[in-house]
Amino acid sequence: IVTGQGGTPNTYSAKLTKVQAVDGTRLWTKTYTAGGTPELIFNECWGAVVTVDSYVVACGTGIENCAGTRNTADCANGIGDNRTGALPRNAGVWQSLVIRTDTDGNLLWQRVDSYKHPSFPALASSMPAHRTSSAAEWVVATSDGGLAVFLDEVNGMGVMKLMPSPTDVGNSSQKC
C-alpha cells in the first residue's frame, strides 16, 4: 500500500493506494477526509501499516496557509470546518488524522486528535493560541492489538497510543 495526498486543484485529500507487489500495478486508490471545507482543510498522509485484516494510515489535517484562493475570512479566522462543535484553528495548526480501512480500502473508522499541554484549559474552552500542531506522521501495530502513532508536535515529537477497543480483544478479525 502507498499513502499520500491529492485532489482537485487547491485541495488535498488523504489517499490510500493498493498496488500489486509483483509488478506495481495499481489495484485501487481511495480518498478520505477529516471533513470541513476541502479548499481550506488539507489532509496529508505519510505513514501506513498493514495489519492482519486492515490498513491504518497516519495523516495530518489542517489549514496550511491562507494564500491565494484560500485568502478568505473563514481562513483568516481559522474556520475550516463549519460543523457544530468544530473549533477554530489558526492556519498552520495541524491535527492528527488516523484512518483504518479494511483490505479493500473501505473506511472502518477514523479519528482526529491533538495533543493538549496539561497546563492548557480544556480544548472546548481554550483560546486558539492553546490549540497547537500535532500531526500524525507514522503508525505501527503494537503487540497488544493497539496502535502507536508517531506525531510531529509543535515543540518536538510525540507518541499517541491507541488501545484496542473491547470488541477487538479476542476477535482476530478486528485485531491489529
For residues 115-142, give the mean pLDDT.
Answer: 79
pLDDT at 71 over 60: yes
**Burial classification of residue 87, based on how many CB atoms lie within 10 Å of its CB (0-12 exposed, 13-18 middle, 19 or more buried):** middle
Digit-coded pLDDT (tens) for 147-162: 999 999 877 888 999 9
Q: Find the angle CA(97)-CA(34)-CA(112) to the nearest 5 degrees.
A: 40
Query: What grid cell was written down for 43?
Result: 489532509
**What is the percentage of the chain residues whose pLDDT exceeds 70?**
89
